[in-house]
Chain A
Amino acid sequence: MADVKYTEEHEWISIEGDVGTIGISAYAQEQLGDVVFVDVPQAGRKVAKGESVAVVESVKAASDIYAPASGEVVEANAALADTPGEVNTDPTGKGWFFKMKLADKSELDGLMDQAAYEAFVKGLG
Protein backbone atom coordinates (compact mmCIF):
# COMPACT_ATOMS: atom_id res chain seq x y z
CA MET A 1 0.00 0.00 0.00
CA ALA A 2 1.47 3.26 -1.12
CA ASP A 3 2.00 6.05 1.35
CA VAL A 4 0.60 9.39 0.07
CA LYS A 5 1.83 12.76 1.32
CA TYR A 6 1.06 16.33 0.38
CA THR A 7 3.05 19.56 0.07
CA GLU A 8 1.89 23.09 0.84
CA GLU A 9 2.11 23.69 -2.93
CA HIS A 10 -0.81 21.25 -3.31
CA GLU A 11 1.22 18.46 -4.83
CA TRP A 12 0.86 14.84 -3.78
CA ILE A 13 3.56 12.20 -3.74
CA SER A 14 2.68 8.54 -3.58
CA ILE A 15 5.62 6.54 -2.23
CA GLU A 16 6.26 2.90 -3.06
CA GLY A 17 9.68 1.65 -2.01
CA ASP A 18 12.16 4.31 -3.09
CA VAL A 19 10.04 5.61 -5.99
CA GLY A 20 7.62 8.51 -5.65
CA THR A 21 4.83 9.42 -8.09
CA ILE A 22 3.98 13.13 -8.19
CA GLY A 23 0.83 14.98 -9.18
CA ILE A 24 -1.41 17.81 -8.00
CA SER A 25 -4.35 17.61 -5.62
CA ALA A 26 -8.04 17.84 -6.48
CA TYR A 27 -8.06 21.25 -4.80
CA ALA A 28 -5.16 22.44 -6.98
CA GLN A 29 -6.74 21.32 -10.26
CA GLU A 30 -9.96 23.05 -9.29
CA GLN A 31 -8.08 26.27 -8.56
CA LEU A 32 -6.19 26.05 -11.87
CA GLY A 33 -9.23 25.40 -14.00
CA ASP A 34 -9.06 23.61 -17.35
CA VAL A 35 -5.56 22.22 -17.89
CA VAL A 36 -4.49 22.47 -21.55
CA PHE A 37 -0.80 21.54 -21.46
CA VAL A 38 1.65 19.84 -19.11
CA ASP A 39 5.39 20.16 -19.66
CA VAL A 40 6.80 17.01 -18.02
CA PRO A 41 10.50 16.34 -17.32
CA GLN A 42 12.74 13.89 -19.21
CA ALA A 43 13.52 10.56 -17.60
CA GLY A 44 17.06 10.61 -16.23
CA ARG A 45 16.94 14.23 -15.12
CA LYS A 46 18.51 14.74 -11.68
CA VAL A 47 16.49 17.12 -9.55
CA ALA A 48 16.97 18.86 -6.23
CA LYS A 49 14.27 19.25 -3.62
CA GLY A 50 12.22 22.38 -4.37
CA GLU A 51 13.40 22.61 -7.99
CA SER A 52 10.80 23.40 -10.65
CA VAL A 53 10.59 20.23 -12.75
CA ALA A 54 7.28 20.45 -14.58
CA VAL A 55 4.83 23.13 -15.66
CA VAL A 56 1.09 22.85 -15.80
CA GLU A 57 -0.72 25.30 -18.07
CA SER A 58 -4.37 26.15 -17.61
CA VAL A 59 -6.20 28.44 -20.03
CA LYS A 60 -5.41 31.31 -17.67
CA ALA A 61 -1.87 30.74 -16.45
CA ALA A 62 1.23 28.60 -16.11
CA SER A 63 2.14 27.04 -12.74
CA ASP A 64 5.37 25.38 -11.71
CA ILE A 65 5.46 21.89 -10.26
CA TYR A 66 8.29 21.41 -7.76
CA ALA A 67 10.22 18.30 -6.83
CA PRO A 68 9.10 17.45 -3.27
CA ALA A 69 12.44 15.69 -2.73
CA SER A 70 15.83 15.19 -4.39
CA GLY A 71 16.46 12.33 -6.78
CA GLU A 72 16.17 11.29 -10.40
CA VAL A 73 13.17 11.34 -12.73
CA VAL A 74 12.51 7.77 -13.88
CA GLU A 75 9.33 8.22 -15.90
CA ALA A 76 7.07 11.01 -17.12
CA ASN A 77 3.38 10.67 -17.93
CA ALA A 78 3.59 10.85 -21.72
CA ALA A 79 -0.18 10.40 -22.05
CA LEU A 80 -0.74 13.92 -20.74
CA ALA A 81 0.55 15.34 -24.03
CA ASP A 82 -2.68 14.23 -25.70
CA THR A 83 -5.00 14.26 -22.72
CA PRO A 84 -3.97 17.11 -20.37
CA GLY A 85 -7.58 17.27 -19.16
CA GLU A 86 -6.92 14.13 -17.08
CA VAL A 87 -5.23 16.44 -14.58
CA ASN A 88 -8.73 17.86 -14.01
CA THR A 89 -10.79 14.69 -14.23
CA ASP A 90 -8.45 12.33 -12.34
CA PRO A 91 -5.79 14.42 -10.60
CA THR A 92 -4.69 11.72 -8.18
CA GLY A 93 -4.86 8.89 -10.73
CA LYS A 94 -4.34 9.17 -14.49
CA GLY A 95 -3.36 12.83 -14.06
CA TRP A 96 0.04 12.03 -12.45
CA PHE A 97 3.02 14.01 -13.80
CA PHE A 98 6.21 12.05 -13.18
CA LYS A 99 7.86 9.33 -11.10
CA MET A 100 11.19 9.84 -9.38
CA LYS A 101 13.71 7.70 -7.55
CA LEU A 102 14.09 9.29 -4.14
CA ALA A 103 17.64 10.00 -2.95
CA ASP A 104 16.71 10.42 0.69
CA LYS A 105 13.22 9.52 1.87
CA SER A 106 13.71 11.45 5.09
CA GLU A 107 13.30 14.63 2.99
CA LEU A 108 9.60 13.77 2.93
CA ASP A 109 9.24 13.72 6.71
CA GLY A 110 7.88 17.24 6.94
CA LEU A 111 5.07 16.65 4.42
CA MET A 112 1.41 16.37 5.37
CA ASP A 113 -0.63 13.19 5.43
CA GLN A 114 -4.16 13.10 3.96
CA ALA A 115 -5.89 14.34 7.13
CA ALA A 116 -3.38 17.14 7.72
CA TYR A 117 -3.66 18.25 4.08
CA GLU A 118 -7.45 18.32 4.22
CA ALA A 119 -7.23 20.51 7.32
CA PHE A 120 -4.69 22.72 5.53
CA VAL A 121 -7.05 23.21 2.56
CA LYS A 122 -9.96 23.90 4.88
CA GLY A 123 -7.86 26.58 6.57
CA LEU A 124 -7.43 28.36 3.21
CA GLY A 125 -11.15 29.13 3.25
Chain B
Amino acid sequence: MKRTPLYELHKELGARLVPFAGYEMPVQYPTGILVEHAHTRRAAGLFDVSHMGQVRLTAKPGHNAAKALETLVPGDIAGLKPGEQRYTQFTNDAGGILDDLMVTSTGDHLLLVINAACKDDDLAHLQKHLSDACEIEPMFSRGLLALQGPQAAQALARLVPAVATMKFMTGAFFTIDGAQCYVTRSGYTGGDGYEISTPADATDRIARKLLTQPEVKPVGLGARDSLRLEAGLCLYGHDIDTTTTPVEAVLLWSVGKERRVQGGFPGAAVVQKQIAEGASRKRVGILPEGKAIAREGAEIVIGGKVVGKVTSGGFAPGLERAIAMGYVEKAQSANGTKVELMVRGKPVPAEIVPMPFVKHAYYRG
Protein backbone atom coordinates (compact mmCIF):
# COMPACT_ATOMS: atom_id res chain seq x y z
CA MET B 1 0.00 0.00 0.00
CA LYS B 2 1.41 3.39 -1.02
CA ARG B 3 1.44 6.46 1.22
CA THR B 4 1.27 10.15 0.41
CA PRO B 5 3.74 12.66 1.90
CA LEU B 6 1.07 13.44 4.53
CA TYR B 7 0.76 9.92 5.95
CA GLU B 8 2.41 10.82 9.28
CA LEU B 9 0.30 13.97 9.56
CA HIS B 10 -2.90 11.98 8.98
CA LYS B 11 -1.91 9.58 11.77
CA GLU B 12 -1.13 12.47 14.13
CA LEU B 13 -4.52 14.01 13.34
CA GLY B 14 -6.27 10.73 14.19
CA ALA B 15 -7.51 10.02 10.67
CA ARG B 16 -9.21 6.77 9.82
CA LEU B 17 -7.05 5.47 6.98
CA VAL B 18 -8.57 3.24 4.33
CA PRO B 19 -7.19 1.72 1.13
CA PHE B 20 -8.10 3.88 -1.86
CA ALA B 21 -6.61 3.45 -5.35
CA GLY B 22 -3.61 1.69 -3.85
CA TYR B 23 -2.98 4.36 -1.19
CA GLU B 24 -3.67 4.55 2.52
CA MET B 25 -5.94 7.60 2.53
CA PRO B 26 -7.89 9.43 5.25
CA VAL B 27 -11.62 8.81 4.83
CA GLN B 28 -12.33 11.04 7.82
CA TYR B 29 -10.76 12.62 10.89
CA PRO B 30 -12.18 12.29 14.42
CA THR B 31 -14.61 15.18 13.71
CA GLY B 32 -16.53 12.97 11.24
CA ILE B 33 -17.83 13.46 7.71
CA LEU B 34 -20.84 15.67 8.57
CA VAL B 35 -18.74 18.19 10.49
CA GLU B 36 -15.99 18.13 7.86
CA HIS B 37 -18.52 18.69 5.09
CA ALA B 38 -20.18 21.58 6.94
CA HIS B 39 -16.82 23.13 7.77
CA THR B 40 -15.80 23.09 4.10
CA ARG B 41 -19.04 24.82 3.11
CA ARG B 42 -18.68 27.43 5.87
CA ALA B 43 -14.92 28.02 6.27
CA ALA B 44 -12.07 26.07 4.65
CA GLY B 45 -11.22 22.38 4.43
CA LEU B 46 -7.77 20.98 3.66
CA PHE B 47 -7.78 17.76 1.62
CA ASP B 48 -4.81 15.54 0.81
CA VAL B 49 -5.23 14.59 -2.84
CA SER B 50 -1.60 13.67 -3.39
CA HIS B 51 -2.71 10.24 -4.60
CA MET B 52 -3.86 11.88 -7.83
CA GLY B 53 -1.40 11.80 -10.71
CA GLN B 54 0.43 14.87 -11.93
CA VAL B 55 2.10 14.79 -15.35
CA ARG B 56 4.04 17.49 -17.16
CA LEU B 57 4.04 17.67 -20.95
CA THR B 58 6.67 19.69 -22.79
CA ALA B 59 6.73 20.06 -26.56
CA LYS B 60 9.71 18.57 -28.35
CA PRO B 61 11.41 20.91 -30.87
CA GLY B 62 9.11 21.54 -33.82
CA HIS B 63 6.03 20.23 -32.01
CA ASN B 64 3.08 21.73 -30.12
CA ALA B 65 2.14 20.00 -26.87
CA ALA B 66 -1.43 21.38 -26.83
CA LYS B 67 -2.11 20.22 -30.39
CA ALA B 68 -0.63 16.83 -29.52
CA LEU B 69 -2.80 16.46 -26.41
CA GLU B 70 -5.86 17.40 -28.46
CA THR B 71 -5.43 14.13 -30.37
CA LEU B 72 -6.43 12.36 -27.11
CA VAL B 73 -9.03 14.71 -25.59
CA PRO B 74 -12.03 16.68 -26.92
CA GLY B 75 -11.26 19.83 -24.92
CA ASP B 76 -9.96 23.05 -26.46
CA ILE B 77 -6.37 22.77 -25.25
CA ALA B 78 -4.73 24.76 -28.05
CA GLY B 79 -6.86 27.72 -27.01
CA LEU B 80 -5.50 27.75 -23.43
CA LYS B 81 -3.56 30.92 -22.71
CA PRO B 82 -0.68 30.68 -20.23
CA GLY B 83 -2.16 30.39 -16.75
CA GLU B 84 -5.51 29.01 -17.92
CA GLN B 85 -6.93 25.69 -16.83
CA ARG B 86 -9.52 23.44 -18.43
CA TYR B 87 -11.44 20.25 -17.60
CA THR B 88 -11.46 17.52 -20.25
CA GLN B 89 -11.50 13.73 -20.74
CA PHE B 90 -9.35 11.09 -22.38
CA THR B 91 -11.72 9.35 -24.79
CA ASN B 92 -11.53 5.97 -26.53
CA ASP B 93 -12.48 5.11 -30.11
CA ALA B 94 -16.11 4.54 -29.08
CA GLY B 95 -16.29 7.98 -27.48
CA GLY B 96 -16.16 6.39 -23.99
CA ILE B 97 -14.23 8.08 -21.22
CA LEU B 98 -10.88 6.57 -20.16
CA ASP B 99 -10.37 9.21 -17.46
CA ASP B 100 -11.22 12.82 -16.76
CA LEU B 101 -8.52 15.36 -16.07
CA MET B 102 -7.53 18.96 -15.52
CA VAL B 103 -5.08 20.59 -17.92
CA THR B 104 -3.29 23.84 -17.15
CA SER B 105 -0.95 25.72 -19.48
CA THR B 106 2.04 27.37 -17.84
CA GLY B 107 3.14 28.75 -21.20
CA ASP B 108 6.14 26.42 -21.39
CA HIS B 109 4.38 23.25 -20.31
CA LEU B 110 1.02 21.59 -19.87
CA LEU B 111 0.31 20.32 -16.35
CA LEU B 112 -2.14 17.44 -16.12
CA VAL B 113 -3.94 16.19 -13.01
CA ILE B 114 -5.38 12.70 -13.51
CA ASN B 115 -7.26 10.24 -11.30
CA ALA B 116 -5.27 8.06 -8.90
CA ALA B 117 -6.83 4.80 -10.05
CA CYS B 118 -6.14 5.62 -13.72
CA LYS B 119 -2.72 7.18 -13.52
CA ASP B 120 -0.58 4.25 -14.66
CA ASP B 121 -2.88 3.55 -17.62
CA ASP B 122 -3.07 7.25 -18.46
CA LEU B 123 0.71 7.54 -18.42
CA ALA B 124 1.06 4.53 -20.73
CA HIS B 125 -1.60 6.05 -23.00
CA LEU B 126 0.30 9.36 -23.16
CA GLN B 127 3.60 7.60 -23.78
CA LYS B 128 2.11 5.49 -26.54
CA HIS B 129 0.55 8.37 -28.43
CA LEU B 130 2.48 11.54 -27.57
CA SER B 131 6.11 10.45 -27.22
CA ASP B 132 7.06 11.81 -30.64
CA ALA B 133 5.67 15.26 -29.87
CA CYS B 134 6.21 15.67 -26.13
CA GLU B 135 8.49 15.01 -23.22
CA ILE B 136 6.19 13.21 -20.78
CA GLU B 137 7.22 13.56 -17.15
CA PRO B 138 5.20 11.78 -14.49
CA MET B 139 5.46 13.71 -11.23
CA PHE B 140 3.67 11.08 -9.15
CA SER B 141 5.66 11.78 -5.99
CA ARG B 142 4.60 15.43 -5.79
CA GLY B 143 2.07 16.46 -3.20
CA LEU B 144 -1.35 17.89 -4.06
CA LEU B 145 -3.34 19.78 -1.46
CA ALA B 146 -6.87 21.03 -2.01
CA LEU B 147 -7.93 23.98 0.12
CA GLN B 148 -11.65 24.45 -0.38
CA GLY B 149 -14.37 26.68 0.97
CA PRO B 150 -15.48 30.31 1.16
CA GLN B 151 -12.60 31.19 3.52
CA ALA B 152 -9.92 29.35 1.52
CA ALA B 153 -8.86 32.59 -0.19
CA GLN B 154 -8.32 34.55 3.01
CA ALA B 155 -6.44 31.63 4.59
CA LEU B 156 -4.09 31.02 1.65
CA ALA B 157 -3.66 34.74 0.94
CA ARG B 158 -2.12 35.11 4.41
CA LEU B 159 0.75 32.97 3.10
CA VAL B 160 0.63 34.10 -0.56
CA PRO B 161 -1.22 37.43 -0.95
CA ALA B 162 -1.40 37.22 -4.75
CA VAL B 163 -3.74 34.19 -4.74
CA ALA B 164 -6.62 36.40 -3.58
CA THR B 165 -7.24 37.83 -7.05
CA MET B 166 -6.74 34.62 -9.06
CA LYS B 167 -9.82 33.66 -11.03
CA PHE B 168 -11.53 30.25 -11.17
CA MET B 169 -9.71 27.86 -13.52
CA THR B 170 -6.41 29.76 -13.60
CA GLY B 171 -3.02 28.76 -12.23
CA ALA B 172 0.36 30.27 -11.34
CA PHE B 173 3.68 29.44 -9.66
CA PHE B 174 4.18 30.72 -6.13
CA THR B 175 6.82 30.20 -3.46
CA ILE B 176 5.24 28.90 -0.27
CA ASP B 177 7.52 28.51 2.73
CA GLY B 178 10.54 28.44 0.42
CA ALA B 179 9.17 25.76 -1.89
CA GLN B 180 8.08 26.35 -5.47
CA CYS B 181 4.42 25.37 -5.79
CA TYR B 182 1.89 25.53 -8.59
CA VAL B 183 -1.47 26.85 -7.42
CA THR B 184 -4.73 26.69 -9.36
CA ARG B 185 -8.04 28.18 -8.31
CA SER B 186 -10.09 25.05 -8.74
CA GLY B 187 -11.42 22.08 -6.85
CA TYR B 188 -13.98 19.33 -6.56
CA THR B 189 -16.50 20.74 -4.09
CA GLY B 190 -18.46 23.19 -6.21
CA GLY B 191 -17.19 25.97 -3.97
CA ASP B 192 -14.31 28.41 -4.11
CA GLY B 193 -10.85 27.05 -3.44
CA TYR B 194 -7.41 26.09 -4.62
CA GLU B 195 -5.34 23.07 -5.51
CA ILE B 196 -1.70 23.40 -4.55
CA SER B 197 0.92 21.20 -6.19
CA THR B 198 3.90 20.89 -3.85
CA PRO B 199 7.37 19.31 -3.98
CA ALA B 200 7.10 15.98 -2.12
CA ASP B 201 9.45 17.06 0.68
CA ALA B 202 7.62 20.36 1.28
CA THR B 203 4.10 18.92 1.35
CA ASP B 204 3.99 18.11 5.05
CA ARG B 205 5.25 21.49 6.24
CA ILE B 206 2.95 23.41 3.87
CA ALA B 207 -0.04 21.35 5.02
CA ARG B 208 0.86 22.02 8.66
CA LYS B 209 1.22 25.73 7.92
CA LEU B 210 -2.22 25.78 6.31
CA LEU B 211 -3.70 23.92 9.28
CA THR B 212 -2.43 26.62 11.64
CA GLN B 213 -4.68 29.14 9.87
CA PRO B 214 -7.81 29.62 11.99
CA GLU B 215 -10.19 28.93 9.09
CA VAL B 216 -8.67 25.59 8.13
CA LYS B 217 -9.49 22.07 9.30
CA PRO B 218 -8.49 18.73 7.76
CA VAL B 219 -11.16 17.01 5.67
CA GLY B 220 -11.13 13.41 4.42
CA LEU B 221 -12.26 11.59 1.31
CA GLY B 222 -15.70 10.90 2.81
CA ALA B 223 -16.68 14.57 2.79
CA ARG B 224 -14.88 15.05 -0.52
CA ASP B 225 -17.40 12.62 -2.00
CA SER B 226 -20.49 14.18 -0.38
CA LEU B 227 -19.33 17.67 -1.40
CA ARG B 228 -18.77 16.74 -5.05
CA LEU B 229 -22.09 14.90 -5.23
CA GLU B 230 -23.95 18.00 -3.99
CA ALA B 231 -22.09 19.95 -6.67
CA GLY B 232 -23.24 17.45 -9.33
CA LEU B 233 -19.65 16.61 -10.29
CA CYS B 234 -18.77 13.25 -11.83
CA LEU B 235 -16.67 10.63 -10.07
CA TYR B 236 -14.65 8.59 -12.55
CA GLY B 237 -15.40 4.86 -12.46
CA HIS B 238 -18.91 5.58 -11.17
CA ASP B 239 -20.65 8.42 -13.04
CA ILE B 240 -18.40 8.25 -16.07
CA ASP B 241 -16.35 5.39 -17.51
CA THR B 242 -15.48 3.73 -20.81
CA THR B 243 -19.18 3.02 -21.48
CA THR B 244 -20.30 6.67 -21.18
CA THR B 245 -19.56 9.45 -23.65
CA PRO B 246 -19.10 13.15 -22.81
CA VAL B 247 -22.50 13.79 -24.45
CA GLU B 248 -24.33 11.16 -22.39
CA ALA B 249 -22.58 12.43 -19.25
CA VAL B 250 -23.76 16.00 -20.03
CA LEU B 251 -20.17 17.17 -20.25
CA LEU B 252 -20.57 18.73 -23.70
CA TRP B 253 -19.79 22.13 -22.15
CA SER B 254 -16.20 20.85 -21.79
CA VAL B 255 -15.90 19.93 -25.48
CA GLY B 256 -14.41 22.80 -27.47
CA LYS B 257 -16.83 24.45 -29.92
CA GLU B 258 -14.45 24.11 -32.85
CA ARG B 259 -13.53 20.62 -31.80
CA ARG B 260 -17.18 19.53 -31.99
CA VAL B 261 -17.04 20.44 -35.66
CA GLN B 262 -13.49 19.46 -36.51
CA GLY B 263 -13.15 16.31 -34.37
CA GLY B 264 -9.64 14.90 -34.29
CA PHE B 265 -9.96 13.11 -30.91
CA PRO B 266 -10.65 9.40 -30.30
CA GLY B 267 -14.33 8.59 -30.80
CA ALA B 268 -15.05 11.96 -32.44
CA ALA B 269 -17.44 10.38 -34.96
CA VAL B 270 -19.55 8.89 -32.15
CA VAL B 271 -19.57 12.14 -30.20
CA GLN B 272 -20.43 14.20 -33.28
CA LYS B 273 -23.29 11.85 -34.15
CA GLN B 274 -24.66 12.18 -30.61
CA ILE B 275 -24.38 15.96 -30.78
CA ALA B 276 -26.35 15.97 -34.04
CA GLU B 277 -28.97 13.34 -33.19
CA GLY B 278 -28.95 13.29 -29.40
CA ALA B 279 -27.67 10.48 -27.19
CA SER B 280 -29.99 7.64 -26.20
CA ARG B 281 -29.40 8.27 -22.51
CA LYS B 282 -28.39 11.09 -20.27
CA ARG B 283 -26.90 11.73 -16.81
CA VAL B 284 -29.47 13.39 -14.54
CA GLY B 285 -29.91 14.52 -10.96
CA ILE B 286 -32.46 12.61 -8.88
CA LEU B 287 -34.14 13.67 -5.66
CA PRO B 288 -35.69 10.80 -3.67
CA GLU B 289 -38.65 11.54 -1.40
CA GLY B 290 -38.30 10.75 2.28
CA LYS B 291 -35.16 9.61 3.99
CA ALA B 292 -34.11 6.38 2.26
CA ILE B 293 -30.78 6.61 0.45
CA ALA B 294 -30.50 5.15 -3.05
CA ARG B 295 -26.88 4.25 -3.63
CA GLU B 296 -24.82 3.36 -6.69
CA GLY B 297 -26.44 0.51 -8.64
CA ALA B 298 -30.04 1.20 -7.58
CA GLU B 299 -32.43 0.73 -10.51
CA ILE B 300 -34.43 3.70 -11.77
CA VAL B 301 -37.96 2.58 -12.66
CA ILE B 302 -40.96 4.17 -14.38
CA GLY B 303 -44.23 2.26 -14.44
CA GLY B 304 -42.51 -1.00 -13.57
CA LYS B 305 -39.94 -0.66 -16.36
CA VAL B 306 -36.25 -0.12 -15.61
CA VAL B 307 -35.10 3.05 -17.39
CA GLY B 308 -31.68 3.43 -15.85
CA LYS B 309 -29.40 3.09 -12.86
CA VAL B 310 -28.10 5.30 -10.09
CA THR B 311 -24.34 5.89 -10.47
CA SER B 312 -23.79 7.93 -7.29
CA GLY B 313 -26.17 8.37 -4.40
CA GLY B 314 -25.85 9.43 -0.82
CA PHE B 315 -26.80 11.77 1.95
CA ALA B 316 -26.32 15.46 1.18
CA PRO B 317 -25.33 17.08 4.49
CA GLY B 318 -25.99 20.56 3.09
CA LEU B 319 -29.58 19.66 2.22
CA GLU B 320 -30.13 17.13 5.03
CA ARG B 321 -31.64 14.69 2.58
CA ALA B 322 -30.68 12.00 0.11
CA ILE B 323 -29.60 12.91 -3.44
CA ALA B 324 -28.48 10.83 -6.39
CA MET B 325 -27.34 10.98 -9.97
CA GLY B 326 -27.68 8.37 -12.64
CA TYR B 327 -28.40 7.65 -16.26
CA VAL B 328 -31.89 7.41 -17.77
CA GLU B 329 -33.21 6.98 -21.28
CA LYS B 330 -33.38 10.29 -23.13
CA ALA B 331 -37.19 10.17 -23.37
CA GLN B 332 -37.46 10.00 -19.56
CA SER B 333 -34.80 12.58 -18.74
CA ALA B 334 -36.83 15.81 -18.48
CA ASN B 335 -36.71 17.67 -15.18
CA GLY B 336 -39.81 16.94 -13.13
CA THR B 337 -40.16 13.37 -14.43
CA LYS B 338 -41.44 11.11 -11.64
CA VAL B 339 -39.48 7.90 -11.18
CA GLU B 340 -38.99 5.23 -8.55
CA LEU B 341 -35.65 4.12 -7.15
CA MET B 342 -35.37 0.52 -6.02
CA VAL B 343 -33.82 0.52 -2.54
CA ARG B 344 -33.47 -2.95 -1.01
CA GLY B 345 -36.28 -4.23 -3.19
CA LYS B 346 -38.68 -1.42 -2.31
CA PRO B 347 -39.63 1.43 -4.67
CA VAL B 348 -38.82 4.91 -3.36
CA PRO B 349 -40.62 7.76 -5.18
CA ALA B 350 -38.20 10.27 -6.70
CA GLU B 351 -38.03 13.06 -9.25
CA ILE B 352 -35.53 14.04 -11.91
CA VAL B 353 -34.13 17.45 -11.04
CA PRO B 354 -31.52 19.85 -12.41
CA MET B 355 -27.98 19.74 -11.04
CA PRO B 356 -26.07 21.01 -9.15
CA PHE B 357 -28.01 20.23 -5.98
CA VAL B 358 -26.06 22.97 -4.19
CA LYS B 359 -25.28 26.13 -6.16
CA HIS B 360 -21.69 26.49 -7.35
CA ALA B 361 -19.76 29.34 -5.76
CA TYR B 362 -16.71 29.73 -7.99
CA TYR B 363 -14.64 32.93 -7.87
CA ARG B 364 -14.81 34.59 -11.26
CA GLY B 365 -13.41 37.96 -10.19
Contact = CB atoms under 8 A, between A and B. Distances in A.
Interface of A: 33-34, 36-37, 39, 55, 57-62, 81, 88
B27 to A, nearest CB: 7
B199 interface: no
Contact of B314 (A55, A59, A88): A59
Interface stretch (B28-36, B51-59, B142-150): B28-36
Interface in B271-324: 291-293, 295, 314-315, 317, 322
B286 to A, nearest CB: 17
A58 B225 CA distance: 13
A60 B27 contact: yes
Given A55-B344, A60-B222, A34 B291 contact: no
B226 interface: yes
A91 B28 CA distance: 20
Contacts of A59: 33-34, 37, 222-223, 226, 314-315, 317
Given A36-B315, A37-B315, A55-B344, A60 B33 contact: yes
Task: State the main secondary structure of chain B at its contact with A.
Answer: mixed
Nearest to A38: B291
A37 B288 CA distance: 14
B292 A37 contact: yes
Contacts of A36: 34, 293, 315
A59 B16 CA distance: 15
B292 to A, nearest CB: 7
Contacts of A62: 293, 295
A14 B261 CA distance: 69
A72 to B, nearest CB: 21
